[in-house]
Amino acid sequence: MFSCLYRGGITIPILSRTSFFRCVHSYLPSMGHGRGRMNPTNGHYNDKDPAVEMIMRRLKKLASGALCDSDKAHQQIASTSEQPELREYAGLRLMCPSSMKLRNPIPKCYANMSVRDGGKSNVMVGIARTVQLTRPNDFLAVLYGLSQTSRHDVLVVNTGGSTRAVAGGLFSEEAARRGLSGIVVDGPIRDVDDLSPDIRVYSTMISPYAGTVQHPGDGIDVTPVICGGVVVNPGDIIFGDADGVLVGSAKTFSDCLHEAENIMSVEEHLIDGMKLGVSLHSMMNFNEHMMSRKEGKVSSLEFKDRNTIKFTGLDPIHLS
């Protein structure tokens, strides 16, 4: 994926891939992956707020890669700007892609079909509703949490180190009936072949053994949880596609929207060109940029037909 580095007339150097993935490994070792409990937070986003609804509608048309590219640019701005409002950018949080897996991907031929709210059917966007299990391998708290959810919610569960499944086909079908956008479980699920195709289901593990249903837990949205190695607060926006799951506040996602939309527009234009037989390299100043970099000169890789978008010339480029 390309990185959009142009914002308000400023070209921003790309962050290294190491910096980009630093959030993936924020496992809070003192708590332990899949076992963390956080302190409650005050305040929840109103998912019926027109501004939040607009953010989610726009997100449904995007991809995680474009959002991550926009996030990198904003993080660079935050690290160099002298303006307090820009330095306060919180950033998106990426759940560990090596463990948090999409368990019911839909066929590619249907992935980009429009759904009722104008988005893509393979994208999960919703408001986080958090559940923390108080007893490993007991999913009564998950069943209760599901009973408290509604349209556009994403049920986010920390299983406390469970080794037995806390959700499966029946839960996914009920979640679809309620209009949820997805279920994200830090721990095991089962019935992978029978998960509802109408919502996205992610988990870090699979087990055919189900847990018990004896411990009701503390309730829903009582506390933030650690899921996929990152903190998820009740009311956060959750974005997921086949590449991964992103977490952030409504404000953070709002900050990323414009650049992410611009990136996707440019990439669609590049793809259209290649389908017409035009090479990717010829649509950029690739030869000039390569020569300049070999000579040690400062250079930016640019898309020739869109002056408002520039790509980095300072770090290694990984073209998709």
Q: Is 191 annotated as a binding residue?
A: yes
For the record, the structure tokens of 169 come out as 């086909």
Whether residue 189 contacts residue 163, with contact meaning beta carbons closer than 8 Å, is answered with no
Q: Is 135 annotated as a binding residue?
A: no
User: What's phi and psi for 187, nearest 5 deg?
Assistant: 150, -165
Whether residue 137 contacts residue 163, with contact meaning beta carbons closer than 8 Å, is answered with yes
Whether residue 198 contacts residue 115, with contact meaning beta carbons closer than 8 Å, is answered with no
How many residues make up the chain in this entry?
Answer: 320
In sequence order, which residues have a C-beta less than 8 Å from that of residue 36 and are 6 or more positions away?
28, 158, 225, 226
User: What is the C-alpha to C-alpha distance for residues 35 and 30, in angstroms, rounded to an integer?
Assistant: 10
User: What is the C-alpha to C-alpha distance for residues 235 and 175, in angstroms, rounded to an integer?
Assistant: 18
User: What is the C-alpha to C-alpha distance for residues 17 and 72, in angstroms, rounded to an integer?
Assistant: 10
Residue at 121: amino acid letter: S
Q: Which residues are annotated as a binding site for Mg(2+)?
A: 191
Q: Which residues are annotated as a binding site?
A: 190-191
Q: Which residues are annotated as a binding site for substrate?
A: 190
